[in-house]
Amino acid sequence: MDLGSIATAMVTPFGENGKVDEGRLHALVHYLIQNGSDSIVVCGTTGESPTLNEEEKAKIIRLAVEAAGRKVPVIAGTGSNNTAATIEMTKKAEAAGADGIMLVAPYYNRPDQRGMYAHFKEVAGSTKLPVMLYNVPGRTASRLEPETVIALSCIPNIRAVKEAGGDLGAMTRIIAGTDRGFRLYSGDDGLTLPVLAIGGDGVVSVASHVAGPEMQRMVVAYKSGDREEAARLHAEVSRLSEALFSRPSPAPVKHALKLAGFDAGTVRLPIMPLDGEGTRIVGQAMSDFRAATGA
């Protein structure tokens, strides 16, 4: 499950009627591929998955796969806190042509580690697709522990984890305890460079919507030994990322995309469009980022 270094957690474009905009979705996939995305993740939180129904999710996956044209992998977020429903959505993603699936740790009902292991094992056993686990305790109020990730990595098609817990120590334990083919991606843009430094593979990114080329430059600089340039770009991406999460996501990144010349439409309730102060923060961050990086 090689997603490259920069996987973009893609927003879902909506039209004026609030429905999924097929034309904009196709265009956004092409835009991201041309601007630094090695792979694309759809129907995640940044894609406003909590407000998408199953029919919309299947449609988004199919459209993204069509638009990508096998140029880059398309990973579908199919996870939920309902194992049976997750299996059904995973089957739909497989039928729609997804290259892999992403499974978030169950939220709200918050199973223990034994329950999480059983949940992920059951879903993985229902599909031939490779699986990326997703640990994001800030959203789920549950934590997928490193030992559980290591145990799950022994299941043949569980091949990656998106770690958004912010704990580099936990990530280090996962990397040390899994085989070389198991991939670890940061779920936080601000930890991309540190994760690479401890042996991780890259990031599932929000900032790459508007900073993809610069993030690729950062990765190349790090891998070529130019640590000073990598650190400089890391600092700029981190500052931009702070602005992109200054208000509930994905309202800030959709506004940033618009400033970059791509209108992905508005957001769905209960997320609100940016207020005046949020607009100012994102606008200033985009201006500062362009000035610092030549974007």
Q: Is 148 annotated as a binding residue?
A: no
Picking from 234, 207, 212, 237, the residue whose alpha carbon sits closest to that of residue 222 is: 234
Distance CA 214, CA 50 (A): 30
Cis peptide, bond prior to residue 270, ω within 30 of zero: yes
Q: Count of residues for the chain? A: 295
Distance from the Cα of residue 224 to its chain's centroid: 25
Alpha-carbon torsion angle 245, 134, 101, 210, nearest 10: 20
Distance CA 44, CA 69 (A): 20
Q: Is 46 annotated as a binding residue?
A: yes
CB 11, CB 258: distance < 8 Å:
no
Q: Which residues are catalytic?
A: 134, 162
Distance CA 76, CA 92 (A): 10
Annotated binding site for pyruvate: 46, 204
